[in-house]
Amino acid sequence: MQNNISTVLKNLGVLDLNPAFSTGSNWGASANAKTIDSLSPVDGKKIASVQLATAEDYEAVVKKAEEAFIFWRSLPAPKRGDIVRQFGDALRLHKEDLGTLVSYEMGKSLQEGFGEVQEMIDICDFAVGLSRQLYGLTMHSERPNHRMYEQWHPMGIVGIISAFNFPVAVWSWNTALAWVCGNVCIWKPSSKTPLCGVACQHIIATVLKNNDMPEGISNLLIGNAVGDLINNDKRIPLVSFTGSTRIGRVVSSAVAGRFGRSILELGGNNAIIISKDADIDMSIIGAVFGAVGTAGQRCTSTRRLIIHEDIYEDFKNKLTKAYGQLRIGDPLDQHNHVGPLIDTAAVDMYTHAIEKGKKEGAKFIVEGGVLNGNPYQSGFYVKPCVAEVENHYEIVQEETFAPILYLIKYKTLDQAISLQNGVPQGLSSAIMTLNLREAEQFLSVAGSDCGIANVNIGTSGAEIGGAFGGEKETGGGRESGSDAWKAYMRRQTNTINYSNTLPLAQGIKFDL
Ligand code: NAD
């Protein structure tokens, strides 16, 4: 893979770049910049090192972004959309290389790496259309000869802080919409996947340069310290944060403390209810893919199965059999189902969760464990495992970002829905049933409390056309499709008086 990855980096044009920041055409780092190594979880080898942005680098980037905003906000939205269209075209050309880098640097399967880039392309297409549809309403004024309407203006600089598990797609969900809305963006990718960040920035920087756009429309800053600078910077009116609930709490209180706005896309604890009226074969595939895909490192990964008591034993046996067929190994080898976790800290969290679960009473029907030796030399490969638990166990209430699946039995649908909702997080949920009444109850106001509720589809993954995000400790943010664009703009209500008097609202009289 090492030879192959050098070619991939070369094709992406990032081999000779070793930046701490980029404002578009300007790439750089202070003389005293420290570096971090990007290690592949696939084989534990160093891919490259990247410099870390300093406070001076940060200042230089924010200044460029402020200048660029003045230009970019005045460009007609469809013209901004055309730049995004060209970005989508550039991504089509780089899909194979960027997808391969995502797979090698993050550890997800090659198919999922390509899928992530496809998601970027799809959101660009969506944003291009949106650039001609940033509609505001008109309202009837209560006063004669007055006109009232609302319009949407860009916010300014949007700070995007992203997680390691979707190293490219989450940025593009945010940035493609933010750009057509007239904002400029500063991206701080996860320090676990910095090269994906450099590659994406290189692709958009080339598009911007080919269009003679000024520096500062798309900016990249590498390093954990940048997060706090963004949180506390009044020049950044909107922060879109994707990551753990723990860090999300820090970000949201810092941003709210300065009356900034945030979009929070935090942890999930997603369940599938398996009804006695479910299509069992479909349910097994949905459950296994949801639990072990991306090695359980998706915010929408299936963590809990809530199974009807009448089919519980049968389903458990079929699930155990399916787990027996899983192939764990190099995610770039398309025969494997399960790749590695991201790093040592993730492996420690996985083993800790298993130990804690056992202490609380979890009964493992498929045992876990860390895999070592060839071909698992990175030390980050673990066995997907399954345990019978009760929903109130502390470990079941938490999100463990690893392939651990919990089984819970239920009697009535009311009870199943209450178990599904009985966790602090509220991202994705699903019911597998062929019974219309059950499906509708699950989707009703008394049903799932999550941002995403599916019928006969698992919890994992989503299409870009819908608004994506979740409730409760998942943070309440929405990104991607539907009218999620409104979060990137400020609404202004305008009232115009074209009469020759000045009537006041609510009929108030004020004569001089
Ligand atoms: P994380 O919270 O550890 O890190 C996320 C980002 O925050 C990284 O870029 C990190 O460098 C940065 N960061 C760290 N400290 C910061 C601070 N004080 N201020 C600002 N930024 C800071 O998360 P992770 O391990 O990279 O990703 C996994 C988590 O992300 C899981 O909980 C997963 O559910 C969640 N996630 C949620 C969604 C969603 O859409 N809801 C999508 C992907 C991942």
- List, for residues 295-318, the tens digit of each pLDDT value: 999 999 999 999 999 999 999 999
Q: Which of 8-22, 267-281, 488-502 has the lowest mean pLDDT?
A: 8-22
Ligand 1 proximity of 59 Cβ (cutoff 6 Å):
no
The C-alpha atoms of residue 335 and residue 409 are separated, in whole angstroms, by 33
- pLDDT at 70 exceeding the cut of 90: yes
The C-alpha atoms of residue 469 and residue 466 are separated, in whole angstroms, by 10
Report CA(179)–ligand 1 centroid distance (Å).
22
470 found inside a domain: no
Q: For residues 288 and 147, state if they share a domain.
A: no
The per-residue pLDDT for range 466-511, each reduced to its tens digit, is 999 999 999 999 999 999 999 999 999 999 999 999 988 898 999 8
Give, for 160, the enclosing helix (H) or strand (E): strand 157-161
Q: What is the pTM of this model?
A: 0.97
Provide the angle, in degrees to the nearest 10, between the axes of the packed helices 77-106 and 110-130: 170
Q: For residues 340 and 383, state if they share a domain.
A: yes
Provide the angle, in degrees to the nearest 10, between the axes of the packed helices 194-210 and 169-180: 30
Nearest-CA residue for atom 19 of ligand 1: 227
User: What's the confidence (pLDDT) of residue 461?
Assistant: 82
Q: For residues 177 and 242, state if they share a domain.
A: yes
The ligand 1 atom nearest the CA atom of 268: 34
The per-residue pLDDT for range 401-443, each reduced to its tens digit, is 999 999 999 999 999 999 999 999 999 999 999 999 999 999 9
User: What's the confidence (pLDDT) of residue 292?
Assistant: 98
Q: For residues 45 and 192, state if they share a domain.
A: yes
Give, for 146, the enclosing helix (H) or strand (E): strand 146-154
Q: For residues 307 and 376, state if they share a domain.
A: yes
Nearest-CA residue for atom 39 of ligand 1: 265
User: What's the confidence (pLDDT) of residue 160?
Assistant: 98
User: What's the confidence (pLDDT) of residue 2?
Assistant: 56
Q: For residues 175 and 229, state if they share a domain.
A: yes
Pairing of strands 471-472, 425-426: antiparallel
Report CA(434)–ligand 1 centroid distance (Å).
37
Nearest CA to 474 among 243, 134, 167?
A: 243
> Which of 299, 302, 404, 473 most suits a substitution to test ligand 1, by most atoms within 8 Å of the C-beta?
299
367 found inside a domain: yes
The fraction of the chain above a pLDDT of 90, given in percent, is 94
Nearest-CA residue for atom 43 of ligand 1: 299
Segments forming the whole domain that contains residue 32 = 2-266+475-492
Q: For residues 277 and 237, state if they share a domain.
A: no
Q: Provide the CATH number for the domain around residue 111.
A: 3.40.605.10
The C-alpha atoms of residue 226 and residue 194 are separated, in whole angstroms, by 13
340 found inside a domain: yes
User: What's the confidence (pLDDT) of residue 176?
Assistant: 98
User: What's the confidence (pLDDT) of residue 16?
Assistant: 75
The per-residue pLDDT for range 130-165, each reduced to its tens digit, is 999 999 999 999 999 999 999 999 999 999 999 999
Nearest CA to 292 among 253, 260, 340, 230?
A: 340
510 found inside a domain: no
Q: For residues 189 and 46, state if they share a domain.
A: yes
Report CA(131)–ligand 1 centroid distance (Å).
29
Residue entry with tokens 């949801």:
290
Ligand 1 proximity of 231 Cβ (cutoff 6 Å):
yes
- Average pLDDT of the chain is 96
Work out the pLDDT band at 31, boundaries 50, 70, 90.
confident
> Which of 102, 221, 224 most suits a substitution to test ligand 1, by most atoms within 8 Å of the C-beta?
224
The C-alpha atoms of residue 451 and residue 468 are separated, in whole angstroms, by 7
Coil, strand or helix at 422: coil
Q: For residues 252 and 169, state if they share a domain.
A: yes
The C-alpha atoms of residue 501 and residue 484 are separated, in whole angstroms, by 40
145 found inside a domain: yes
507 found inside a domain: no
- pLDDT at 357 exceeding the cut of 80: yes
Q: For residues 208 and 323, state if they share a domain.
A: no
508 found inside a domain: no
> Which of 36, 112, 123, 164 most suits a substitution to test ligand 1, by most atoms within 8 Å of the C-beta?
164
Q: For residues 179 and 66, state if they share a domain.
A: yes
- pLDDT at 3 exceeding the cut of 90: no
Tokens standing for 456?
A: 């006969």
Which spans in 361-409 are helix H? 394-397
Q: Provide the CATH number for the domain around residue 424.
A: 3.40.309.10
- Could you tell me where the beta strands, DSSP code E, fall in 341-466? 363-366, 385-388, 404-410, 425-426, 428-432, 452-455
Number of compact structural domains in the chain: 2
500 found inside a domain: no
21 conformational bin, left if phi > 0, alpha if psi -120 to 50, beta if neither: beta
- Amino acid making up residue 388: E
Q: For residues 250 and 292, state if they share a domain.
A: no
The C-alpha atoms of residue 110 and residue 99 are separated, in whole angstroms, by 7
By annotation, the residues acting in catalysis are 265
